[in-house]
């Protein structure tokens, strides 16, 4: 799993044996360990894996999703130094666009 990534807590919450968990610094290191048969599974988001596969010019068909750990909605992380007023403004804008997106999905039956 990728250290300090959202999947880290998901993996730990799933009660996997900690001695069997290998931490990496990023998705590219996780992918390299997987391709070298140093690990049997990767806990990584679908989008993150697709990006890493594409950037390393690998074939998506060489990979198989075998277990869904959890689903997590998109999120943004801010530095602790960012003022609350900026975070709140961002949240309001994000919520507005999310409502518009949901309305379009509903209107066009997507």
Residue-wise pLDDT tens digits, 3-29: 888 788 888 888 888 778 888 888 888
Residue pair 5/72 in contact (Cβ under 8 Å)? The answer is no
How is residue 38 written in tokens? 């140093």
Provide the pLDDT for residue 100: 87
Domain ranges of the chain: 6-62, 78-110
- Encoded tokens for 96: 């507005």
Element (H, E) at 9: helix 6-13
**DSSP string of 31-49?**
HHHHHTTS-S-----HHHH
Distance between CA atoms of residues 69 and 81, nearest Å: 32
pTM of the model: 0.59
Q: In the predicted model, what is the mean pLDDT of the chain?
A: 86
Instruction: Give CA–CA dist 62/84, Å, rounded.
Output: 44
Q: Which range in 32-36, 60-64, 87-91 is most confidently predicted, on average pLDDT?
A: 87-91
């Amino acid at each position: 799993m990728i250290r300090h990534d959202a999947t880290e807590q998901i993996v730990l919450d799933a009660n996997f044996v900690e001695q069997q968990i290998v931490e990496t610094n990023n998705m590219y290191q996780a992918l390299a360990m997987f391709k070298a048969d140093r690990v049997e599974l990767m806990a990584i988001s679908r989008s993150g894996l697709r990006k890493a596969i594409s950037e390393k010019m690998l074939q998506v068909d060489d990979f198989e999703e075998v277990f869904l750990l959890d689903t997590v909605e998109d999120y943004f992380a801010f530095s602790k130094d960012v003022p609350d007023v900026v975070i709140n403004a961002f949240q309001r804008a994000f919520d507005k666009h999310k409502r518009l997106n949901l309305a379009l999905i509903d209107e066009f039956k997507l």
